[in-house]
Amino acid sequence: MLNPQLDRRGELIHLLTTEGLPRRHVERLLEAARARAAGETPAATPQPVFLFLPDDPACRDAYADAATRLSLLPVVLDAQDAGSEPGDGLAQTVSGLAPGILVLRHAASGAAHCAAKHAAPGLRVVNAGDGRHADPLPALALVQAMQDIKQDLTNLAVTLVGDIRHSPVARSVIHAMTTLGVPEVRAVAPRTLLPDNLPQLGVRACATLQEGLQDADVVIVLPLDVERISGALLPSAREYAQFYGVTPAALAAAKPDALLLPAGALTPGVEVDGDVAASLPPIEAQLAGLLQPLRLAALHVLAGDAP
């Protein structure tokens, strides 16, 4: 079966997910992002960049800025154009768009694949998050931070802590890490917040936070949406913090130089304690600084002009 992100020659035509994305394309995006971070922002072939990013003006503005820097034309789509499900409304919208690039965020899992399937000829899709399914660029920012600080990914033990089941970034970073050769990926969370297919993803579930953090080189902490998942999935935020909240004492089980990466906004007293939260702003700033070059790289690659 053909990979919907690739054309028949194996070249990238959409960026939908890191799952199944060949290593050469992952590395190409990371290398292109480093070039953009170093100040290389060559113009791309003029074409529109359609932005469907409802309820996220900051992300919309960031993509608009990236498009403008590449001499592309940002066009904001109305939030009602694509419906709440990845069905007829979305299909009709994308089938009627002019050739260019569509940056899509949608609440429904699979929306980006639906958009790519029904895209008009010459329209390329960047997934900026589709439900619980995938969010490739923040995941690549996490991987790039690991590379920048740890250099060699092929000897790392990486532990994910938190709501892995509902996190598109978690799924995306797992696929990116295994593609790039990370040999050991662990997951720590209440059983209700773990995906059913962890072994197929190449991830080992750990029974306790202590087990998961033992000698870890990198710890990725995932945010909880307490209001959305409370009840059967999460008895209480207090109970979660007691057993899975990351504290300095818990981190003592990891390597002395372990890298702590937040995969989103964390709440002191829930996912992390106050001391750990106070240490996060520098790495949060670094991750934010990696995202915009990745947006530039993705747009430039899909515009057909990146090296």
Q: Domains in the chain and their CATH numbers?
A: 23-134+291-302 (3.40.50.1370), 136-287 (3.40.50.1370)
Q: Which two tokens stand for residue 241?
A: 């913090």
What pLDDT, on the 0 to 100 scale, is given for residue 233?
Answer: 74
Sheet holding 48-52, edge to edge: 73-76, 48-52, 100-106, 123-130
What pLDDT, on the 0 to 100 scale, is given for residue 55?
Answer: 82
Q: Which two tokens stand for residue 141?
A: 């920012």
Alpha helix locations (H) across 16-167? 23-37, 57-69, 88-95, 111-118, 136-150
pLDDT digits (tens, 9 = 90+) for 162-171: 999 999 999 9
pLDDT digits (tens, 9 = 90+) for 58-117: 999 999 999 999 999 999 998 665 555 556 678 888 999 999 999 999 999 999 999 999
Residue 307 has pLDDT above 50, yes or no: no
pTM beyond 0.85, yes or no = yes
pLDDT digits (tens, 9 = 90+) for 230-261: 666 777 888 899 999 999 999 999 999 999 99
| Gyration radius from the chain CA atoms | 19
Mean pLDDT for the stretch of residues 17-25: 97
